[in-house]
């Protein structure tokens, strides 16, 4: 330990010395002003300017990075178990992963979106969704913990996802068309019979709580990306469809037949009004609604039934199709709400629609026929402009708030900056390699912070030291404050970062909770001081009410447990200081450790299998005497009658 300490302090000293020297040198040299390293360097002890919340894709988690340094600050488990934090393993968080299919410990987390007020980031919550078992989630940005998960019924592979500009609704569109309601039918009969439900989830403005509001039962196209209107177009939402062909096999060929697919333009305010006035019909549905109480560290899972569905044909003037070339992926709305950028993956040009022209075309009832009763607007009528020869394989676009758009091109592997005024390309920079999403902090709000851009790449290849066949995906940070973009930094990400949301750190950090207050602890088995600690037996269930404080457990000796018992350790961390978690591990427990923040209580189930005397210990290095933070449990034979005893230092 001593040796480690002295090595550590030496390292710190070296880093400080490098830091000081570098600083002095830089000031002397004007040429160094363009130095990339300097612009991403955050000196030891200093904070990054932005938080970046990165989707973890198939890790089912979300990670928090500091920008511009690219330092990983935290991984937040959402749809997947995380042994590090005990999420999905301990008794309090297991209900978070409950669904109508039962417990599902994995998810595919795609898009993330920070809550907004008046179209500006407010830093209260970050919402996300999962693409496999359709679920949406809210993470609370005072605790950086998942606070709620809502399953989306009548849906399959939730992918198009958006938060409206006052966080009124979360929109979740089905990626895969399915029979709705689900039924046993021939796959070949898909065309005309499958549906594509778009789900609207109402968000409580005070708590962030989510309630299923209604589902718009769209034709059976696959819905890909969605964005809300903002400013001028607030009240509308836009979502791309691919596979308007309604192909059910070999989609790489069969879903690329039509010259044009669609962007759906949907006036959700109109539909909200319709539902408020009694419109729509209830459809059978079953879905889990899981809510976490941060004060009790305990989640509840409730099975709910039924969903209000709406047929778009019943609400004239609410839903339209905008034709767009070639299997569009992203559809992104600029900060003014006037421009809707559609990215046809296989198109040679980038199509930009005009919201005001769209409204005019609707008023003039200028349609190009309909699809399943939904009017198709005329392409020429709603076209705002075209970016010519922008690149190959456009996917996603973000905005800097200065009249510029930035689009990623997967096939030509580049980010292209272009002007919303004249649709001219201003700059292009390669990405390494094959970029998917990009992110500018606030880039999908009314008020972007157009200083940095992060490209999230699908292929890493030679960017880092090889780590076997699998490489972490690569993110790249560009400075976009000047006319030309400058690549500053590569950093690895966790899972596949489908999207990220960035926000100035000042909007979050002062609200970040430092401890859970012991006097607000609502866990039903919490104890608030060592004199309340005890062990109780109810049949073969044993409840251990235990506390932890630097550097011991109370009690730390327990006898009277038997093979076959179900032992619940309810462990309360009595600390009330910032950043003093303790951990709890028990040999043979078929689950992860408990990691318990100051003032919180967590519960672990242990089912002892064999007689003996077994140690338990703290897993998180908490003080110089962390190693002494341990205890013993004696396990007697099944059917024996040992006296239940517990003690700390003989008391």
Among ligand CUA, ligand K7E, none, residue 111 binds (CB under 5-8 Å by kind):
ligand K7E
Of 419, 410, 417, which is closest to residue 478 (Cα–Cα)? 417
**Residues 6+ positions from 502 with CB-CB distance below 8 Å:** 50, 51, 52, 53, 67, 439, 440, 441, 442, 443, 449, 452, 454
User: Smallest gap, in angstroms, from Cβ of residue 437 to ligand K7E?
Assistant: 5
Binding part of the chain for ligand CUA, among 91-99, 118-126, 336-344, 621-629 by CB under 6 A, reads 621-629
State the sign of the Cα–Cα–Cα–Cα dihedral 112, 118, 119, 120: negative
User: Smallest gap, in angstroms, from Cβ of residue 628 to ligand CUA?
Assistant: 9
Rounded to whole angstroms, how far apart are CA atoms 237 and 224?
13
Of the two residues 160 and 619, which places its CB atom closer to ligand K7E in the complex?
160
The token pair that represents 399 in the structure block: 């905005």
3-class DSSP string for 341-396: EEEECCCCCEEEEEHHHHHHHHHCCCEEEEECCEEEECHHHHEEEEECCCCCCEEE
Among ligand K7E, ligand CUA, none, residue 626 binds (CB under 5-8 Å by kind):
ligand CUA
Among ligand K7E, ligand CUA, none, residue 437 binds (CB under 5-8 Å by kind):
ligand K7E
Q: Does 396 bind ligand CUA (CB under 6 A)?
A: no
Q: Do 505 and 552 touch, CB atoms closer than 8 A?
A: no
Binding stretches for ligand K7E (CB under 6 A): 110-111, 159, 225, 329, 395-396, 436-437, 498-499
The token pair that represents 285 in the structure block: 């549905």
User: Smallest gap, in angstroms, from Cβ of residue 295 to ligand CUA?
Assistant: 22
Of the two residues 584 and 614, which places its CB atom closer to ligand CUA in the complex?
584
Half-sphere exposure of 97 (CA within 13 A, CB side): 23
Binding part of the chain for ligand CUA, among 77-85, 470-478, 585-593, 613-621 by CB under 6 A, reads 613-621
Binding part of the chain for ligand CUA, among 16-24, 198-206, 311-319, 615-623 by CB under 6 A, reads 615-623
Rounded to whole angstroms, how far apart are CA atoms 310 and 580?
51
Binding mask 569-598 for ligand CUA (x = CB under 6 A): -------------x----------------
User: Smallest gap, in angstroms, from Cβ of residue 582 to ligand CUA?
Assistant: 4
Residue 511: count other Cβ atoms within 10 Å of its Cβ.
Answer: 12
Q: Does 620 bind ligand CUA (CB under 6 A)?
A: yes
Among ligand CUA, ligand K7E, none, residue 582 binds (CB under 5-8 Å by kind):
ligand CUA
Among ligand K7E, ligand CUA, none, residue 436 binds (CB under 5-8 Å by kind):
ligand K7E
Backbone torsions φ then ψ of 491, nearest 5 degrees: -150, 145
Rounded to whole angstroms, how far apart are CA atoms 188 and 176?
15
Rounded to whole angstroms, how far apart are CA atoms 128 and 105?
16
The token pair that represents 636 in the structure block: 């007697």
Q: Does 546 bind ligand CUA (CB under 6 A)?
A: no
Residue 34: count other Cβ atoms within 10 Å of its Cβ.
Answer: 11
Among ligand CUA, ligand K7E, none, residue 620 binds (CB under 5-8 Å by kind):
ligand CUA
The token pair that represents 522 in the structure block: 């609502």
Q: Do 571 and 545 touch, CB atoms closer than 8 A?
A: no
Rounded to whole angstroms, how far apart are CA atoms 530 and 518?
13
Among 495, 626, 631, 633, binds ligand CUA (CB under 6 A): 626
Among ligand CUA, ligand K7E, none, residue 618 binds (CB under 5-8 Å by kind):
ligand CUA
Of the two residues 396 and 552, which places its CB atom closer to ligand K7E in the complex?
396
Q: Does 600 bind ligand CUA (CB under 6 A)?
A: no
Peptide bond between residue 68 and the one before it cis (omega within 30 degrees of 0):
yes
The token pair that represents 300 in the structure block: 């509840």
Beta strands in 452-539 (DSSP E): 452-457, 474-479, 486-492, 500-504, 534-538
Among ligand K7E, ligand CUA, none, residue 329 binds (CB under 5-8 Å by kind):
ligand K7E
Among ligand CUA, ligand K7E, none, residue 156 binds (CB under 5-8 Å by kind):
none
Q: How far is CA 435 from CA 53, 432, 473, 604, in A?
A: 18, 7, 10, 42
Among ligand K7E, ligand CUA, none, residue 101 binds (CB under 5-8 Å by kind):
none
Q: How many degrees, rounded to 5, is the angle at CA 565 between CA 564 and CA 566?
A: 120
Q: Does 618 bind ligand CUA (CB under 6 A)?
A: yes
User: Smallest gap, in angstroms, from Cβ of residue 145 to ligand CUA?
Assistant: 20
Among ligand K7E, ligand CUA, none, residue 395 binds (CB under 5-8 Å by kind):
ligand K7E
Among 76, 622, 633, 635, binds ligand CUA (CB under 6 A): 622
Among 112, 310, 561, 629, binds ligand CUA (CB under 6 A): 629
Of 248, 142, 252, 238, which is closest to residue 198 (Cα–Cα)? 238
Q: Which residues inside 78-117 make contact with ligand CUA, applying CB under 6 A?
A: none
Contacting residues toward ligand CUA, per CB under 6 A: 551, 582, 618, 620-622, 626, 629
């Amino acid at each position: 330990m001593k040796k480690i300490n002295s090595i550590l302090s030496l390292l710190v000293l070296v880093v400080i010395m490098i830091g000081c020297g570098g600083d002095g040198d830089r000031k002397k040299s004007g040429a160094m002003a363009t130095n990339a390293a300097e612009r991403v360097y955050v000196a030891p002890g200093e904070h990054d300017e932005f938080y970046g919340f990165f989707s973890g894709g198939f890790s089912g988690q979300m990670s928090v990075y500091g920008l511009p340094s690219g330092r990983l600050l935290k991984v937040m488990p959402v749809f997947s178990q995380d042994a590090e934090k005990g999420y999905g393993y301990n008794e309090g968080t297991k209900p978070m992963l409950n669904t109508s299919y039962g417990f599902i410990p994995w998810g595919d987390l795609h898009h993330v979106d920070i809550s907004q007020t008046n179209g500006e980031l407010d830093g209260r919550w970050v919402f996300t969704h999962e693409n496999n078992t359709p679920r949406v989630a809210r993470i609370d940005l005072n605790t950086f913990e998942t606070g709620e998960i809502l399953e989306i019924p009548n849906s399959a592979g939730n992918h198009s996802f958006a938060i409206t500009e006052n966080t009124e609704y979360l929109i979740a569109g089905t990626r895969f068309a399915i029979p709705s309601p689900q039924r046993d039918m021939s796959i070949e009969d898909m065309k005309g019979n499958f549906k594509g439900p778009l789900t609207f989830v109402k968000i409580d403005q005070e708590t962030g709580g989510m309630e299923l509001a209604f589902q718009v039962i769209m034709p059976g196209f696959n819905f890909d990306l969605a964005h809300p209107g903002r400013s001028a177009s607030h009240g509308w939402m836009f979502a791309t469809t691919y596979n308007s062909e309604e192909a059910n096999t070999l989609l790489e060929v069969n879903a690329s037949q039509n010259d044009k697919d669609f962007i759906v333009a949907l006036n959700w305010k109109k539909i909200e009004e319709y539902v408020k006035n009694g419109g729509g019909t209830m459809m059978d549905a079953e879905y889990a609604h899981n809510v976490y109480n941060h004060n009790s560290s305990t989640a509840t899972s409730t099975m709910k039934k039924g969903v209000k569905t709406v047929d778009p044909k019943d609400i004239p003037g609410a839903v339209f199709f905008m034709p767009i070339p070639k299997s569009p992926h992203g559809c992104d709305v600029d900060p003014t709400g006037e421009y809707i950028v559609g990215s046809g993956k296989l198109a040679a040009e980038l199509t930009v629609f005009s919201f005001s022209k769209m409204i005019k075309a609707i008023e003039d009832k200028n349609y190009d026929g309909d699809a399943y009763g939904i009017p198709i607007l005329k392409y020429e009528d709603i076209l705002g402009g075209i970016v010519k020869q922008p690149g190959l394989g456009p996917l996603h676009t973000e905005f800097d708030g200065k009249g510029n758009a930035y689009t990623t091109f997967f096939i030509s592997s580049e980010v292209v900056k272009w002007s919303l005024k004249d649709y001219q390309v201003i700059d292009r920079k390669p990405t390494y390699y094959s970029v998917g999403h990009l992110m500018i902090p606030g880039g999908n709000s009314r008020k972007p912070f157009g200083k940095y851009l992060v490209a999230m790449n699908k292929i890493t290849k030679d960017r880092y030291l090889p780590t076997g066949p699998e490489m972490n995906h690569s993110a790249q940070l560009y400075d976009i404050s000047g006319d030309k973009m400058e690549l500053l930094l590569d950093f690895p990400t966790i899972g596949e970062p489908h999207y990220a949301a960035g926000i100035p750190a000042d909007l979050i950090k002062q609200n970040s909770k430092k401890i859970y207050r012991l006097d607000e602890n609502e866990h039903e088995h919490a104890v608030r001081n060592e004199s309340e600690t005890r062990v109780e037996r109810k049949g073969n269930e044993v409840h251990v009410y235990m506390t932890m404080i630097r550097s011991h457990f109370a009690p730390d000796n327990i006898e009277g447990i038997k093979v076959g018992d179900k032992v619940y350790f309810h462990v309360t961390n009595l600390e009330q200081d910032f950043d003093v978690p303790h951990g709890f591990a028990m040999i043979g427990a078929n689950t992860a450790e408990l990691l318990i923040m100051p003032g919180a209580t967590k519960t672990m189930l242990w089912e002892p299998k064999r007689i003996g005397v077994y140690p338990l210990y703290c897993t998180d290095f908490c003080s110089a005497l962390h190693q002494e933070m341990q205890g013993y449990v004696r396990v007697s034979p099944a059917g024996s009658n040992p006296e239940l005893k517990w003690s700390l230092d003989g008391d």
